[in-house]
Structure 1
Amino acid sequence: MAPGNDGGLRERHKARRRSRIVEAVRELLREGPKSGISVERIAERAEVAPATVYNLIGPRERIWEALAAGFMEELEHRLAGQGTGDPHVVVRTTVQLFVADPVVSRRMVRAWEASGLVLDRSPLTRLRDAMEEARARGVLRAEVDVDALAAVVAAACVGALHQWVAALIDDDRFLSRAVFALDVALAAAAADPCREELLEPLRRRSTR
């Protein structure tokens, strides 16, 4: 076996073990709030040594970060299959991913000190790319700073996420607030020929 192939095989084995560890954390979280997630229990569930958990994930506080990374990998997979031309697809897919596994999502956000960064990876990049595409098509004004626009929408979505995690809003309101933040941003940045079209969702909302 060529040296390069041997190294690639080792990396694939590490990736599979890491995936098993992250899935073990999800399973333990789904079993209920009294289910502990010590390194030893995770290792037992994943059928690896505790040292493997430390080596591939890190100490207990890094487990939440690994769990968030797994969410973002799944989101990237879903978005890659749908394309990123529509910012609404990015926002809706992101919200749907969280609400599809509510126990794990809520525990992760509550426990991870840096949970405010959970949307700073794939969602923010994809949202920025979709807005850049909209600007290139003339939907948004040419002078619009799409980085700032995407960051404002992401911040609003993080706020809605934390309200949902705290059970202050339900799944539908979580999605509604995230989409509303996006619609406001798009309407504010709309090019003149598209302004009425982008204002229409806000008008419909105001008449409900």
Structure 2
Amino acid sequence: MAGLRARHRQARVEQVLNVASELFASQGYETTRIEEIAESAQVAPATVYNYFTTKANILTTLAVRHVRASLPERRALVRDPPADPMDAIRAFEKLLADQALRTLSRECWRAILSAPYREPRGTAHRVSLRFQWLIKRHYVLMLTGFQERGTIKKDVDLEVLADLVTAIGTYHFSRLVSDDEMTIDDLKEAVERHLDLVFAGVIAQPNPKAPKPKSTGPKPASKRKQRDE
């Protein structure tokens, strides 16, 4: 009997989440009220408050559900990435952005990304840190494969590299969700510019086609002697 009650409760939770997701997408996160979610889900508002306490907790739960549903696709790419590390990271960042906007609106992601500033060390902040940790773990796994194949130098600290790549991706994703005119292709190009610096370094390489500078100093003694003779 207890198992049946638990299943019924989970079914109601899923119904509330599905309705909330639809309302957030159609009329916006900020303007949607819990009472509207309850009415559309055909449950009492008190039931929604009992399950989630706040609207922000509903959004956090939707984000967790999104990540869980996204993991198989991410793992498949990590296991079989493009042969070039840059191409692999570009593909993974594009996948992350595609999955995110496929599930939740930009407005929802703005609310999620702002949680650490609005509620430091709160539930949403802890969930956000967990998301970042998962992305970093995937990058460590992917980059380890490249390092084992000799594509990445053996002395590169992959934990540090994964931290840096994750930070670059997070920064540009925050730009994407804060700017309604920015596209995923724009994000891909912006990430690529920073990755070029990470993987190629910032030391300029000599251009073999550049003309050699003319010497303005004194000629060597041997050449002066030949000319005098």
TM-score by length of 2: 0.64
Instruction: Describe how 1:125-144 pairs up with structure 2 within 5 A.
Output: 125-144=137-156
1-structure distance, mates of 2:70, 2:193: 21
Over 3 Å counting, the alpha-carbon distance change for 1:158 and 1:34 in structure 2 is closer
Are positions 1:46 and 2:59 aligned together? no
Task: Please give the root-mean-square deviation of Cα atoms over the aligned residues, in Å.
Answer: 3.1
**Mind listing any 5+ residue stretches in structure 2 that lack a counterpart?**
82-87, 117-124, 202-229
Over 3 Å counting, the alpha-carbon distance change for 1:162 and 1:136 in structure 2 is same
SS in 2 for 1:153: helix
Identical counterparts, % of pairs: 24
Question: Bigger CA drift: 47-56 or 69-78?
Answer: 47-56
Instruction: Describe how 1:76-115 pairs up with structure 2 within 5 A.
Output: 76-86=71-81, 87-88=88-89, 89-100=91-102, 104-112=104-112, 113-114=114-115
**Mind listing any 5+ residue stretches in structure 1 that lack a counterpart?**
189-208
Match of 1:28 in 2: 23
Match of 2:132 in 1: 120
Counterpart residue identity of residue 105, structure 2? S
SS in 2 for 1:31: helix
Instruction: Describe how 1:161-200 pairs up with structure 2 within 5 A.
Output: 161-167=173-179, 169-182=182-195, 184-187=197-200
Counterpart residue identity of residue 111, structure 1? A
Counterpart residue identity of residue 14, structure 2? S
Instruction: Describe how 1:195-206 pairs up with structure 2 within 5 A.
Output: none
CA offsets, 1:102-153, max 9 Å, x none? xx33111222333783741543322222112222332222232222212211
Are positions 1:156 and 2:151 aligned together? no
Shift of 1:12: 5.0
Shift of 1:170: 2.3
2-structure distance, mates of 1:92, 1:165: 14
Q: Does structure 2 retain, via aligned residues, the 8 Å contact 1:84–1:127?
A: no
Shift of 1:94: 0.4
Counterpart residue identity of residue 171, structure 1? I
